[in-house]
Amino acid sequence: MKRTFIILASLLLCLAGNAQGIRNNGANIVVTSGAWIYIDGDANGGFLNENGGLIDIDGNIVVEGNWTNNAANSVFTNRDNDGWVRFKGTGTETIGGTADTRFEYVEFNNSAGGTPISLSRNMIVEGICRFTDGVVVTGSNYLIIESTTGSDVVGYSNASFVNGNLRRYIGDNTDTYPFPVGDGLTTSDYFLAELINGNLNGVSFNYIDAKFGPLANHNDGDIVAVEETTPYTSVSADGVWFLDPDVAPTAGNYDLKLYTANITSISDNQFAVLSRPTASVTAADWVCAPCGFGDPGVNINGGTGRMVADGYALRLGMSTFSQKGVGKTGAPLPIKLLTFDAECFGDYTVVSWVTSSEINNDYFTIEKSTNGIDFEEITTVQGAGTSNANIEYSIIDEMAMPGQSYYRLKQTDFDNAFEYFGPISVVCAEIENLKFTLYPNPATNQITLALSKSITGDGSIRIFDLSGRLVYSNYYSGLFNRFTINISNLAPGIYYTKLQTSLEDFTDKFIVE
């Protein structure tokens, strides 16, 4: 069959008024770089391709009507990702026909109300897909973006997104892949998701299908998911995202942002991404996977993706795909306690604890008990207010009890709300009576004062002669059990030494020869 070639180089073709658009009846149209074709007019002023018609495009085609491909081919030939088709109508534009069209670059820029762009077949875009204005309604069909470059989907907003099915091919890279999807035609129906790729890959893994839809098969009372001891109480009824691959990847992971501009009634530190199987029929299937503070998991209270002002919920290090929702919790626990311990050291006990986060934390109270039931306050320790860093605390209980004793920690907020941690138990050895020794006696150059065990605290040592005159003094603070004193400057005679400790005072007599 003889084929007709129409070469357009720096040529403006305008079909206006009641024109019937362009019908490519088996020709090979060549649109060279820098050339523009404007297919102007109403719904009839579109493009019809049939009888094997082809287009080799390096320039631009602007379509203000429908795009219909009845040629049993993908329309474009010699595809080298530098030709644009721009849908710029003011009424509904339908993209379809009896065969799918494979575009190089596409721009949606339709200002019509109602349904600006409607797909009656799958629409394939090999390179850049630009959303400028107008919602793309796919029905049961798919808008397919074959480029594996995350940034090749651009311009999307609450005025231009996909209402229906969006398929994106994913590369083994660390790109960010936006999925501008929604469930309706208004700005309040827009629900963006972003996948931050961590080298997802697999032998048969190619793409992810995404859409947004109503929350179904759900009863908040069935939720059992818990994050860092804080239970989830509901999932946003504004809707859920569906992210499903052709085949599950076998390596890599991803971070997921679910944008919350149109998610209602969320509060700081009280929302995060939850997952359940796409075909789930119960809210009991919602899980925080991977769960917990950190990567993988979610950021700690006050961290990125936990605050309303961030504009999105974020979960890190995910590896599976399914239905995704914004889960909501009650008020977060005021502190995240990493450790709480007590350890005996002779006649005193060290009580220590570490927090990884604190919210409005005023102070801690440490309480002690001999039976684990009746507690009394030992001391209080100032809290950090609000913190996202690990903080270590400790106190010394100088009145350790022989045998088993119990400690618990009370945390109090600025609004006087409180919670308890513990109790924990510790076993201390029997406490011996404190004994004092001075040697040698008589002495010539030095004496040593020794206690039967180490003690801690503040104290003093003083030496007097027989007339009561102070001839030596020293003060100490901390842990000790032995002192050696130089007495070579003392005249021969009788002296008295007085040792004052935090537990007991001792007096003894010695002779200097």
Nearest Cα to Cα of residue 220 among 286, 280, 269: 286
352 plus 422 within the same structural domain = yes
CA gap 171, 175 in Å, rounded: 8
CATH number at residue 371: 2.60.40.10
Show pLDDT as tens, one digit a residue, over the chain (513 residues): 344 445 544 333 333 333 458 999 999 999 999 999 998 755 557 999 999 999 999 999 999 999 999 998 999 999 888 899 999 999 999 999 999 999 999 999 999 988 999 999 999 999 999 999 999 999 999 999 999 999 999 999 999 999 999 999 999 999 999 999 999 999 999 999 999 999 999 999 999 999 999 999 999 999 999 887 788 999 999 999 999 999 999 999 999 999 999 999 999 999 999 999 999 999 999 999 999 888 999 998 888 999 999 999 999 999 999 999 999 998 776 777 889 999 987 778 899 999 988 888 999 999 999 888 889 999 999 999 888 788 999 998 888 777 889 999 999 988 887 888 889 999 887 656 677 888 888 888 898 888 877 777 788 899 998 888 899 998 888 777 788 899 999 999 999 899 888 778 888 898 998
Closest CA to 150 of 196, 88, 212, 95: 196
Boundary (domain end) residue, out of 428, 445, 477: 428
Are 508 and 444 members of one domain? yes
Q: Are residues 421 and 440 in the same domain?
A: no
- The residue among 403, 437, 457, 411 whose CA lies nearest residue 510 is 437
449 and 502, same structural domain?
yes
CA distance 215 to 374: 49
Predicted confidence at residue 70, as pLDDT, reads 96
Are residues 394 and 349 part of one domain?
A: yes
Asked if 416 and 442 sit in the same domain, the reply is no
Q: Which domain holds residue 487?
A: 436-512
Domain assignment present for 400: yes
Helices (H), 232-313: none
Dihedral through CA 361, CA 362, CA 367, CA 372, nearest 10? -30
The dihedral sign for the CA sequence 451, 454, 455, 460: positive
Q: Are residues 378 and 406 both part of a single domain? A: yes
Give the residue from 90, 176, 183 showing the smallest Cα distance to 134: 90
Distance of alpha carbon 206 from alpha carbon 397, whole angstroms: 62
Q: Which residues contact 306 (CB under 8 A, 6 or more apart)?
A: 268, 269, 271, 272, 298, 299, 300, 314
Domain of 499: which CATH number?
Answer: 2.60.40.3080
Question: Which pLDDT score is estimated for 288?
Answer: 95
The predicted pLDDT at position 8 comes to: 47
416 closest CA partner among 362, 379, 357: 362
Beta-carbon-side half-sphere exposure of residue 472 (alpha carbons within 13 Å): 19
- Residue 403 and residue 428 in contact, taking contact as beta carbons nearer than 8 Å: yes
Rounded CA-CA distance 164/19 in Å is: 32
Q: Specify if 474 maps to a domain.
A: yes
> Which of 397, 428, 459 corresponds to the end of one domain?
428
Q: Are 135 and 87 spatial neighbours (Cβ–Cβ below 8 Å)?
A: no
Domain boundary at 428, 458, 476, which?
428
* pLDDT at residue 3, as a whole number: 45
Structural domains in the chain (count): 2
Rounded to whole angstroms, what are the CA distances from 6 to 22, 27, 39? 12, 7, 16
Do 420 and 449 lie in a common domain? Answer: no
Q: Are 254 and 248 in contact (CB under 8 A)?
A: no
Q: Is the separation of the CB atoms in 495 and 482 below 8 Å?
A: no
